[in-house]
Amino acid sequence: MRIEISGQTFQSDFVKKVAEISGESVLSCNQCGKCSAGCPMAFAMDWLPNQIIRLVQLGIEEDIAKSKTPWICASCLTCSVRCPRGVDLGRLMEAVRLLTLRRNIDYVAAAKIPPDALGEMPQIALVGGFRKHTA
Amino acid sequence: MENHVETPVTRKALVIGGGVAGIQAALDIADAGHEVFLVEKSPSIGGHMIQYSEVFPTLDCPQCILTPKMVEVGQHPKIKLLTYSEVAQVSGQMGHFTVRVKRKSPYVDWEKCTGCGECANVCPVEVYSEFERGIAKQKAIYKPFGQAVPAVFTVDKKGIAPCRAACPLQVNAQGYVALISQGRFTEALNLVREKTPFPGICGRICTHPCESQCLRGEMDMPLAINDLKRFVADQEKEPAADLTIASEREGKVAIIGAGPAGLMAAYELRKMGYQVTIFEALPAAGGMMRAGIPEYRLPRDILEKEVSLIQKMGVAIRFDTTIGEQVTLAALKDEFNTVFIAAGAHVSAKLGVEGEDLAGVKHGIDFLREVNLNGKSEVGERVVVVGGGNAAIDAARTAYRLGAKTVSIVYRRSREEMPAIPGEVIEAEGEGIKISYLTDPVRIVGENGRVRGIECLRTKLGPPDESGRRRSIPVEGSEFFLEADMIIPAIGQVPDVAFLGSEIRIGLKPGNRLEVDDTTLQTTADGIFAGGDVVTGPNTVIDALAAGRRAAISIDRYLRGESLTIDREDAGLPVSELKVDMAGISQQRRTDMPAVPPAQRTGNFREVALGLSEEEAIREAGRCLACPGCSECRSCEKVCEPKVIDHQMVERYEELEVGAIVLATGFELIPREAIAEFEPDPDILEGIQFERILCPGGSTAGVVMRPSDQKIPREVVFISCVGSRDPEHGVPYCSRVCCMYLVKMAMLHKHAVPDGQAYIFYMDVRSTGKGYEEFVQRAVEEDGVLYLRGRVSRVFRDGEKLKVCGVDTLSGKNVDISCDLVVLGLAMVSDPAGQELAQRLGIAIDEYGFITEVHPKLNPLETSVPGIYVAGTAQGPRDIPDSVAQASGAASKVLALFSTGEPVSGGVGPR
Amino acid sequence: MDLSYYPGCTLKTKAKGLEAPAVAAMAALGVNLVEISRWNCCGAVYSLADDDLAHHLAPVRNLIRVHEQGADKVSTLCSFCYNTLKRANQLVQRDEVKRRTLNDFMEEEKDYQGEVAVVHLLEVLRDDIGWDNISAKVKVPLQGLRVAPYYGCTLLRPQEIAIDRVERPAILHQLMEAIGAEVVDFPFSTECCGSFQIISNPDSVTQRAWDILSSALKRGAEALVLTCPLCYFNLGQRQAELKQKYIDFTGMPVFYFSQLLALALALDSRVCHLELNYADPLPLLEDKRLLV
């Protein structure tokens, strides 16, 4: 599938909001891919972390919105500490998630998790998981 | 800006840095007829280029193309080569610089060195090789590489090894350890004997201060230096010590006491040619080594063998002669020119508790003396020893051997404060001797005049006392009773000074110790010296030996009527601040001596420690880190035919007058630690290391082997941009040459290992030189080098393989490769020494230490200081052709200055 | 020595095995952990959004509690709490504008300027007590116990809150050496266990657990030692599933560092709550004769 890009696509509101919420400069990324190479959750992602940044750089909102990647990210920050350009990818992923969550769309429903499993989990898992994945 | 000078410029140039840029600049200027000084910090010119295997894109061998230029430099009548030298100071200005150059000491007279290499053949010390970048080692006396110019040898000597400096006798521990590592046991023993005639004794009972200072202890365990000394002593079947006496001299010396201090003084004085007589109260020589130390620690044949050498030299020992009884001190003073008192400390200190005079109480040193001289003594069935020093442990272990059923030790402090040798304590425990710490005897309880037991108190530790050990404080109401039929108080010894008499007054210190001058050991009476335990109280054998030597030096000076204090020969060795890079060294266990099993130790006095085998000794000696480089064993001196090695050579300074300077100080690689996610591993190499492995003239003779196991690496991963283009961890700039040198090495690997596979992780391929892109294409198409577009996040060991976790952003896949070897394309950074020099010269450098040119486009050769020009990688990363072209450019700037005869002003823009 | 201490929710419920032996061990080492009163949940995860201040109120409030209770330093034990409190504290210290907004929002509280230092208990062990002093108090050296230190994420990342080097940290290695264990270094010691993804993507966490455990096994470890209740859960609780999936895998005990420290100090092993461990550690400890 071909996409058309223009000044409008990569200067869209979406791109601006990601930059604003994350406080990161997406243009600093030179796509070396070190974030992806070291990402412990990459095996479960549909787009690699560096590709998510690339999609932001190009302003391709649809693919990002459909991607599982930001929801698989565990905010472990391995990418952030190894990024040669000092881009905190963890913050970018958070911004992408928040753009969905702030529209009151949850990624996970508490009701669907078996109560046994919930009861067993440490509080930090519950509080952390719901804070990252629900509005 | 006008710039007038009165005198014409000095038409001589200084080139700093002997890499390819410096070589080119020097040759160009010299060929134009001007004198050039070429200063290089390492012993040879050649720089990094001569380390490489082949150069891109022509695959020329640098040894073939650079060596002729190096030889030309060496032979050029207009070039004065100053290698192993550093520019210390530059003053003056364009046209008239005065340069102060430090000529480091190579400890070899280069004018006369023939470069034959006999010295390196015999040198036992192996050290890090800068040229081989750690891939192979070099000897401590070395020529950096085969084609080195000048072709001479240099000694790598950074100071005095801490083991040697720590020895009160200055025995060259590093030296003999190195010789042992080479299996050269006789030479090792001879080196020990230069400082002590008692290697077998010292090797057994020395408290080895050397080992406490051993730098190896910082990474695992100190070397077993003492066991190694014992090993070489034991190798000798017939003593072959050099007993030559210098010509006989006037002067008769009386020595009181044939212990370590007395024997050492006798040995030294007799060697100098004096007449020496020792007066010994006991029927045998050795002092505490005989009367105090049990035979299972120091076999008597060893003691006798080494002591008898002293007698063989002509020292008379009068046994069974107690001063004050058979002969008085005053009489000795009359008969002899000087007297050395080394009477030791042989009186047991008393506990001062009730019952100490009961039958069954025997004081430690009295007990030991009886056993050691007569071979036997009565022991009880249940023996309690009081004390925590070596005499206590010796007494307990001796009682065990004489058949006591139970032996225990009570000590009022804890194990940490115990002064006994820790190894001896462990052995004692192994023999079933129970040690009760924090236990203080209150009284000895008797029945019918015989010992029935001992009442003790528990103690706790308070603040440290004046000895630095923590004070023991009794715990109220904690009394308890230990049954025993023999009590051995062994809480210390004091000298017996009754023999001094009253005719000669000698000052005393508390504890019956003789007062002496610390440096000369002279007592308060003129011509009477004293040393050893009689001065210090109970102390180590090694300190007593050192005191004996110190006294001998004083006595010799006294007899010759010289100052006792000025320029003494026994001034300590300087302690050097030495650092060892432990990164590449793996932990290795210290080799322990085998020992007689505890069950076989009762009823006999067989030596417990059995000594190292030859194989063990060589292995243990191999653990030495050779921290100062050269050990000064002086093996090299012995084989050097032109006699050009001078271990005392010092650095010197030279002044040069020049009109212009070319800086070509080169580059270094960014330290690997900057990129910490790559585990330290012997098979993760920096580029230059792999160059050395690929090089046909390298240590592996061109066979490509990986360092960990010498296997041929089939799968090799090359990683670009390590530390470069990485402002967060390294440097932000592009290092320019890595793309090309990595692909070159990938190609060479494929040529050397035809069934191999090379992978290159890259971000962009920057192949901007002539023929470079074609070269890259050839590597891909002909040699199957696989390019993967992305960075690597980490590398770690996975069994025999290394696991590389990277990404190929073109396919959008994370890529893992299990490979045999990883080569890092580390960023070029400015050479730290060059950077420091530029700062000292006031030359502008950028934030990365590279020299800033006057104008980046139009004036790339001039530095901020007029008359000083820059060439090569000192200005920033670049490859060989660019460096050489720039060097010729810098040379032409110098020549322009020389031809006009007057300085031209620098400035921005073209002229 | 008294030391102010923030426990957090998990330690009071699921992670007794982390807290109880830590409190006891610190007492044995001469440090009295004084729990701050009226603490609240720290929020578990630090908000990474630039425009989100609301989520920083909870951790900052806890720091205000510490400050008003007269302490200038608070120790934490839970890795998540450490991360959240430390980062919120740095935000207050470094961003004046956000500090003002936060203080304005919490009208009922006294203004907070970042006066309190946040430390993890491992730092206290290293910097205030010292490995040598710990070694000297060890009564049961964990000789022969081959244990792999696992750090997880939140004590090390981001860089500015790291309690040690970000790459190849050593602090847990050093503690294990100090108490006599045989340390097994393994390449996954700082790799994420999957964290809170246990809620939404439990299968991914199972995969992470296997990567980590199998790597430690391959290097010869008999047990993992870690600091974080969530790592403990993910690497312990998932083992039941892993045992079914990988027939050769027989389980691997996972310890909190505090449990091993307490055992080495010969404290009553009941304080360690070893019965709560997912993979039963008793056979291993008995085999090594480490239970007194």
pLDDT tier for residue B1 given thresholds of 50, 70 and 90: very low
pLDDT tier for residue A133 given thresholds of 50, 70 and 90: very high
Looking at residue B904, its pLDDT comes to 53
Task: Please say if the pLDDT value at position B461 is more than 90.
Answer: no
Residue A1 near residue C30 (C-beta atoms within 8 A): no
Nearest CA in chain C to A106: C200
Mean pLDDT on B29-55: 97
pLDDT tier for residue A112 given thresholds of 50, 70 and 90: confident
Q: What is the DSSP string of B171-224?
A: --HHHHHHHHHTT-HHHHHHHHHTT-S-HHHHHHH---HHHHH-GGGGTS----
B277 φ/ψ angles, rounded to the nearest 5 degrees = -125, 130
Determine the distance in angstroms separating the CA of C228 from the nearest CA of chain B, rounded to an integer.
22
- Distance between CA atoms of residues B122 and B142, nearest Å: 11
For residue A55, give the amino acid letter. Answer: L
Nearest CA in chain A to B813: A48
Say whether the peptide bond before residue C158 is cis (omega within 30 degrees of 0).
yes
Task: Please say if the pLDDT value at position B462 is more than 90.
Answer: no
- Distance between CA atoms of residues B302 and C41, nearest Å: 75
* Contact state of B790 with A33 under an 8 Å Cβ cutoff: yes
pLDDT tier for residue B576 given thresholds of 50, 70 and 90: confident
Which of A40, A43, A132 shows the shortest C-beta gap to C191?
A: A40
pLDDT tens, C74-107?
Answer: 999 999 999 999 999 999 999 999 999 999 999 9
Q: What is the DSSP string of A33-88?
A: -HHHHH-TTGGG-SS-HHHHHHHHHHT-HHHHHH-SHHHH-----HHHHH-TT---
User: Which of A1-5, B209-213, B527-531 shows the lowest mean pLDDT across its residues?
Assistant: A1-5
pLDDT tier for residue B376 given thresholds of 50, 70 and 90: confident
Residue C286 near residue C144 (C-beta atoms within 8 A): no
* Nearest CA-CA partner of B87 in B32, B40, B123, B143: B40
Chain C CB contacts of B803 below 8 Å? 187
State the count of interchain CB pairs (< 8 A) between A and C.
145
Task: Please say if the pLDDT value at position B6 is more than 60.
Answer: no
pLDDT tens, C30-48?
Answer: 999 999 999 999 999 999 9
Mean pLDDT on A34-61: 96
Task: Please say if the pLDDT value at position B5 is more than 50.
Answer: no
Percent of the residues in chain B that have a pLDDT greater than 70, as a whole number: 98
User: Which of A39-43, B592-596, C193-197 shows the lowest mean pLDDT across its residues?
Assistant: B592-596
Percent of the residues in chain B that have a pLDDT greater than 90, as a whole number: 86
Looking at residue B502, its pLDDT comes to 84
* Contact state of C165 with B679 under an 8 Å Cβ cutoff: no
- Number of residues in chain B: 911
Task: Please say if the pLDDT value at position C150 is more than 70.
Answer: yes
Determine the distance in angstroms separating the CA of C188 from the nearest CA of chain B, rounded to an integer.
9
Task: Please say if the pLDDT value at position B356 is more than 90.
Answer: yes
Residue B305 near residue B200 (C-beta atoms within 8 A): yes
CA C14, C20, C26, C30 torsion-angle sign: positive
Gap between the terminal Cα atoms of chain B = 13
- Distance between CA atoms of residues B736 and B49, nearest Å: 16
Task: Please say if the pLDDT value at position B55 is more than 50.
Answer: yes
Task: Please say if the pLDDT value at position C229 is more than 60.
Answer: yes
- Residue whose token pair is 């490769």: B817
Chain C CB contacts of A98 below 8 Å? 49, 52
Interface of A with B (CB under 8 A): 30-39, 42-43, 47-48, 50-51, 78, 82-86
pLDDT tier for residue B501 given thresholds of 50, 70 and 90: confident
* Residue of C167, C183, C189, C218 for testing the chain B interface, max B β-carbons within 10 Å: C167
* Contact state of C13 with A95 under an 8 Å Cβ cutoff: no
Mean pLDDT on B663-687: 93
Chain A CB contacts of B793 below 8 Å? 34-35, 37-39, 78, 82
Looking at residue B463, its pLDDT comes to 84
Task: Please say if the pLDDT value at position B908 is more than 80.
Answer: no
Task: Please say if the pLDDT value at position B291 is more than 80.
Answer: yes
Chains adjacent to C (≥3 CB pairs closer than 8 angstroms): A, B
pLDDT tens, B707-758?
Answer: 999 999 999 999 999 999 999 999 999 999 999 999 999 999 999 999 999 9
Looking at residue B214, its pLDDT comes to 95
pLDDT tens, A81-110?
Answer: 999 999 999 999 999 999 999 999 999 988
Burial C226-262 (b: 16+ CB within 10 A, else e): bbbbbbbbbbbbbbeebeeeeeeeebbbbbbbbbbbb
Chains adjacent to B (≥3 CB pairs closer than 8 angstroms): A, C
Gap between the terminal Cα atoms of chain C = 28
User: Which of A5-14, A42-51, C61-70 shows the lowest mean pLDDT across its residues?
Assistant: A5-14
Contacts of B168 (CB under 8 A, 6+ apart): B209, B542, B543, B545, B546
- Distance between CA atoms of residues C153 and B778, nearest Å: 44
Looking at residue B472, its pLDDT comes to 84
Q: Is A94 on the interface with C (CB under 8 A)?
A: yes
Determine the distance in angstroms separating the CA of B801 from the nearest CA of chain C, rounded to an integer.
13
Domains of chain A (ranges, CATH numbers): 7-103 (1.10.1060.10), 108-135 (no CATH)
* Contact state of A84 with B789 under an 8 Å Cβ cutoff: no
Chain A CB contacts of C15 below 8 Å? 122
pLDDT tier for residue B552 given thresholds of 50, 70 and 90: very high
Task: Please say if the pLDDT value at position B911 is more than 60.
Answer: no
Looking at residue B744, its pLDDT comes to 98
Domains of chain B (ranges, CATH numbers): 12-104+655-666+831-900 (3.50.50.60), 107-157+629-649 (3.30.70), 167-241+579-625 (no CATH), 252-346+495-559 (3.50.50.60), 348-492 (3.50.50.60), 670-827 (3.50.50.60)
Domains of chain C (ranges, CATH numbers): 2-121 (1.20.1050.140), 132-287 (3.40.50.11810)
- Distance between CA atoms of residues C47 and C84, nearest Å: 9
- Average pLDDT taken over every residue of chain B: 94
Chain A CB contacts of B806 below 8 Å? 33, 37
pLDDT tens, B823-863?
Answer: 999 999 999 999 999 999 999 999 999 999 999 999 999 99
Looking at residue B268, its pLDDT comes to 96
Task: Please say if the pLDDT value at position B2 is more than 50.
Answer: no
Residue B8 has which token pair? 């014409």
Chains adjacent to A (≥3 CB pairs closer than 8 angstroms): B, C
Determine the distance in angstroms separating the CA of B676 from the nearest CA of chain C, rounded to an integer.
6
Say whether the peptide bond before residue B106 is cis (omega within 30 degrees of 0).
no
pLDDT tier for residue B630 given thresholds of 50, 70 and 90: very high
Residue B482 has which token pair? 């230990």
Task: Please say if the pLDDT value at position B582 is more than 80.
Answer: no
Task: Please say if the pLDDT value at position A134 is more than 80.
Answer: yes
DSSP 8-state class, residue C31:
-
pLDDT tier for residue B906 given thresholds of 50, 70 and 90: very low
Which of C51, C200, C230 shows the shortest C-beta gap to A124?
A: C230
Residue B817 has which token pair? 């490769």
Nearest CA in chain C to B679: C168
Task: Please say if the pLDDT value at position B143 is more than 90.
Answer: yes
Residue B160 near residue B628 (C-beta atoms within 8 A): yes
Q: Is B800 on the interface with C (CB under 8 A)?
A: no
For residues C245 and A1, which has the higher predicted lDDT (pLDDT)?
C245
- Distance between CA atoms of residues B78 and B99, nearest Å: 18
- Distance between CA atoms of residues B120 and B153, nearest Å: 8
Residue C17 has which token pair? 């095995």
Nearest CA in chain A to C193: A40
Determine the distance in angstroms separating the CA of B586 from the nearest CA of chain C, rounded to an integer.
15
Sort residue B257 into left (φ over 0), alpha (ψ -120 to 50) or beta: left
Determine the distance in angstroms separating the CA of C172 from the nearest CA of chain B, rounded to an integer.
18
Chain B CB contacts of A83 below 8 Å? 728
Mean pLDDT on B772-777: 98
Residue B455 near residue B480 (C-beta atoms within 8 A): yes
pLDDT tens, C258-273?
Answer: 999 999 999 999 999 9
Looking at residue C292, its pLDDT comes to 75
* Contact state of C44 with A76 under an 8 Å Cβ cutoff: no
* Contact state of C48 with A123 under an 8 Å Cβ cutoff: no
